[in-house]
A and B are shown apart, each in its own frame.
Chain A
Amino acid sequence: MSVTLQSVPALRRGVRRQFDTARNAPVLMAPERVVMLDDIADAIIAECDGKRSAGEIATRLAARFSAPEADVLVDVLAFLEELSEASLVAL
């Protein structure tokens, strides 16, 4: 399933966002998998609460980081697609 503006992303069961103190970096923990995140990826994942749409997430992050919304939306959609394909996020 492809991600759209209206998709409402949520972490799949057994997937958790966490801060790795040993490596001083945000990580996504999943069954038998660890995904190292950068700050932008972490900020997107933090917004995936199963209530907000991809469009709303982009609006919020654009405001928070004072970035053009169109650019942020492209990044958000691409990253959510990647997370969905990796079975980390349900849409």
Chain B
Amino acid sequence: MSRVPPPLALMAELTHRCPLQCPYCSNPLEMLKAGQERDTAFWFGLIDEAAALGVLQIHFSGGEPTLRADLPRLIAHASMAGLYANLITSAVLLDEAKLRALADAGLGHVQISLQGADPENADRIGNYKGGHNKKLAIARLVPELGMSHTINAVVHRQNLHELPEMIDLALSLGADRLEIAHVQYHGWALRNRAALMPTRAQFEAANTLVEARRAELGARMRIDYVVPDYYADVPKTCMGGWGQKLLNVAPDGRVLPCHAAETIPGLVFDRVGEQPLREIWENGAAFETFRGTAWMQEPCASCALKEQDWGGCRCQALAITGDAAATDPVCALSPRHAEMNAMAAMEAEAGVQNFIYRRI
């Protein structure tokens, strides 16, 4: 048994290309073009290596993964290797035949994002005319084809007033699970923070609503809720701990501990194929830098919870404090916590409306 337990899940970012231009996209500001993407044989090889290493789940993501014509073959390969295949999609490029091909290839779970409940506002947020209604048509087919179905509702100041309707919409679409995710401020979302940050009143209203609907719906539709960091007091256990549960492969084959890790200066990422995946996971410099607790500063270093939240999010620590090894300022024990709260309130009140849309 090696020192580092094997990862459970692999996030496969097949492409950065996407027909939508959501202003909160988690992709990096500098995105990779089609010519920098890796071919089918590359992903087959990675899937085989990941399965041998102990990965049990694969998340096909992007960008928009259905832009890849080889997606059904990649799903089939993952299923044959014993990996549970999840698809994270905007769904706007799918039709019934394409969705059926994915189901036949062994896809277990489809997660479809919604930008809102009002078609006009949703299409404005994604900057894609007609996108919302296309999503609904595809979403209805997912459970009919026997796959598990999650609706991912991304919420922020400019659509939180639609949250009650978004919950009803997910129910009417036959979703097994609704993930209500407040925007996380990385990548494009960080650039658009002033246009997205909810007010505290919106945040509190959303909490109350979610609690009530959860109690009412029970197992009928499970609601997972991701709170907005800037109003929270306890940091998230980001990625289940750096280098502990999950690895992320970028469209060009670099292996990242999380999808936003390249914002951290000085980290060097290994590439699949140049070294065995096991070696990258167990000893790669980017994974070793923040794995465990040895890198921590105070107040994390002496905290009783350090092996529960693992210090929170490194990218967020960097974005707010300028130091990726600082305590995540979401934590009430961080010396920068009050400053983060104040920044959120100020930006929410300023009421910036215009988005800088995601573009390659």
Chain B residues within an 8 Å CB radius of A85: 219
The SS class assigned to the A binding surface is loop
Known: A13-B147, A84-B219, A87-B176. A32 touches B109 (CB 8 A): yes
Interface residue B164 (Cβ < 8 Å from any Cβ of A): no
Contact B148 A31 (CB under 8 A): yes
Interface residue A74 (Cβ < 8 Å from any Cβ of B): no
Which listed segment binds A: B53-61, B191-199, B268-276, B350-358? Answer: B53-61
Chain B residues within an 8 Å CB radius of A14: 108-109, 147-149, 176
Interface residue B222 (Cβ < 8 Å from any Cβ of A): yes
Interface residue B84 (Cβ < 8 Å from any Cβ of A): yes
Contact A16 B108 (CB under 8 A): yes
Interface residues on B, range: 20 to 34
Interface residue A30 (Cβ < 8 Å from any Cβ of B): yes
Q: List 23 A-B contacts (CB under 8 A).
A: A1-B218, A12-B176, A13-B143, A13-B147, A13-B176, A14-B148, A14-B149, A14-B176, A15-B148, A16-B108, A22-B6, A22-B52, A23-B54, A29-B57, A31-B109, A31-B148, A31-B176, A32-B57, A32-B111, A34-B56, A34-B84, A87-B176, A87-B222
Contact B54 A29 (CB under 8 A): no
Please indicate which of the listed interface residues B6, B148, B218 has the most CB atoms of chain A within 10 Å of its own CB: B148
Chain B residues within an 8 Å CB radius of A18: 56, 82, 84
Q: How far is the CA of A23 from the CA of B109 in the complex (A)?
A: 23
A residues 13-59 near B (Cβ < 8 Å) are: 13-16, 18, 20-23, 27, 29-32, 34
Known: A14-B109, A14-B176. A31 touches B56 (CB 8 A): no
Interface residue B15 (Cβ < 8 Å from any Cβ of A): no
Chain A residues within an 8 Å CB radius of B149: 13-14
Known: A13-B176, A16-B84, A87-B219. A30 touches B8 (CB 8 A): no
Contact A31 B150 (CB under 8 A): yes
Q: How far is the CA of A82 from the CA of B273 in the complex (A)?
A: 42
Interface residue B86 (Cβ < 8 Å from any Cβ of A): yes
| A13-B143, A13-B147 known, 18 other contacts, Cβ within 8 Å | A1-B218, A12-B176, A14-B109, A14-B148, A14-B149, A16-B84, A18-B56, A27-B56, A29-B56, A29-B57, A31-B86, A31-B111, A32-B59, A32-B150, A34-B8, A34-B9, A34-B56, A87-B222
Number of interface residues of A (CB under 8 A): 20
Interface residue B146 (Cβ < 8 Å from any Cβ of A): yes
A23 to nearest B CB, angstroms?
A: 6
Chain A residues within an 8 Å CB radius of B17: none
B276 to nearest A CB, angstroms?
A: 15
Interface residue B236 (Cβ < 8 Å from any Cβ of A): no
Chain A residues within an 8 Å CB radius of B146: 13
B262 to nearest A CB, angstroms?
A: 23
Chain B residues within an 8 Å CB radius of A29: 56-57, 84, 108
Interface residue B16 (Cβ < 8 Å from any Cβ of A): no
Interface residue B177 (Cβ < 8 Å from any Cβ of A): yes
Please indicate which of the listed interface residues A15, A29, A30, A31 has the most CB atoms of chain B within 10 Å of its own CB: A31
Q: How far is the CA of A23 from the CA of B57 in the complex (A)?
A: 14
Contact A30 B56 (CB under 8 A): no
